[in-house]
Structure 1
Amino acid sequence: MARPRSEEKRNAILAATIDLVAEQGLGAATADVAKRARVPHGSVFTYFGTKAELLNAVYVELKSELADAIMKRMPDDGSVRDQLRHLWMSWTAWGVSSPSKRRTLAQLSVSNQITEDSRRAAMTVAGGAVEIVQRAASNGALRAMPISYVGALVETMVGTTMDFMMRDHENAEAIRDAGFEALWQALN
């Protein structure tokens, strides 16, 4: 009889993968993942059948964590601007405080190894945030554009803002605030 899988080992493999992809890129070896997670190499494939399955699991995990960070304490009765600002503040805070996760998610987001099923799962998890962006854009120049396009523009703006916040700690707050105003103007 097979041993039950350990949530602790699974999480260690995911964490090791996040760190190694951030450091080495998507070519990081599963043997290095196992070594960093302090599990036998075969354990990686016990928990994730292939490297692609592992990368897809990391992608969905990071998207879920980001969505949770964004939606935590979201003002239910706030205006769409207030909700979008909360989204922006939470997203930039997550990215600046988790640079390895942010780098890994950025690489996975453009990888052809991420399946459509994983992308759909991530969109489902991010549904609340997506809906806020849709409402913010509903009357602006982008109102007729697909939400995937609008979302990609938002991701690019938040990514650029986080990059500059991390480079210029002294002005990070002003950069974050200016980035939000630019986003609001772009969407509305």
Structure 2
Amino acid sequence: MLGFVKHLFGLKQKEELDYMKKFLIVGLGNIGPEYVDTRHNIGFKILDHLIIKEDLKFETVKLGDRCEYKLKGRTFVLIKPSTYMNLSGKSVKYWMTKEKVPLENLLVVTDDLNLPFGSIRLKTKGSDGGHNGLKDIQQQLGTTKYSRFRFGISNSFSKGKQVDYVLGKWGEEELKLMPERLDKSIDLIKSFGLAGSSITMNTFNGK
């Protein structure tokens, strides 16, 4: 009997350990060819860059495209929602439940108008900043205390042209700098899972 109890306790410990070693990485964007390579789709672009580097593939599943990436004992579940930006929270909530990922292991990758182009910043909480995707995630999860990785797209647009700007294509100079910025971005994602949010913020924010 004692051996059976130890066995059950061991299983529980293993399940809890596996639970903490799984991370949900959600890149925000809009589906459809007209949105490819637009500033608002940087979340998709960063996850695409990661799977190309690691020779992986996305599979179309419920509420998005999914890919599983394993690194040093951690499992990264990568999701590109198919709900369109404004309903991103539906996909995030579904996959958190489906994959049994704790809130502290969720990372949302998104664009940010308030940061210079290519600047990267990890935050563990905060407002939606007027971003419709983050707004829906906050509503679906009922909290602002989740990690988000903000990639700067700058605010180089004239008055009244914000929508055209965020849904516009990257400029020539931005595209020249993009490969290095994408490499740095996937390093941040890996660090989030391997080293934790505090070390990752100290290492990457503003870099």
Q: Same fold (TM over 0.5)?
A: no
- TM-score of the superposition, structure 2-length normalised? 0.28
Greater relative CO, 1 or 2 (CA 8 Å, sep 6+) = 2
Question: Of Structure 1 and Structure 2, which has the larger fraction of its residues in helix?
Answer: 1
TM-score normalised according to structure 1 size: 0.30
Q: Identify, as 1 or 2, the structure richer in strand.
A: 2
